[in-house]
Homo-oligomer: A and B are copies of this chain.
Amino acid sequence: MADLSSLTALSGASLWINNLVDGTSGMAVKAKHSIFSGSSHFQKIEVFDTYAYGRILMLAGTLMFTERDEFIYHEMMSHPALSRHPNPKSVCIIGGGDGGVLREVLKHPTIEKVVVVDIDDMVKQTIETYFHHLATGFSDKRAEVVIKDGVDFFLACKDTFDIIIVDSYDPGGPVQSLETEDFFSQVASHVAPEGCAVFQSDSPILRPGFVRSIHGLVKPHFAAMAPYICSIPSFPAGTCSFILAAHSNDFFSACNSKATTTIAPLCKYYTEAIHTAAFVLPRYLQQIYPV
Contacts and interface: CB of A to CB of B under 8 A. Distances in A.
A62 interface: no
Interface string A180-196: 00000000000000000
B25 A26 contact: no
5 contacts: A25-B27, A269-B282, A269-B283, A270-B283, A277-B277
A22 interface: yes
Interface string A79-97: 0000000000000000000
User: Secondary structure at chain A's binding surface: helix, strand, loop or mixed?
Assistant: mixed
Interface of A: 18, 20-30, 50-53, 71-72, 205, 230-233, 235, 237-239, 264, 267-271, 273-274, 276-277, 280, 282-284, 286
B30 A25 contact: yes
A18, A238, A282 — most chain B CB neighbours (10 Å): A282
Contacts of A273: 280
A21, A22, A277 — most chain B CB neighbours (10 Å): A277
Contacts of A286: 271
A130 B171 CA distance: 36
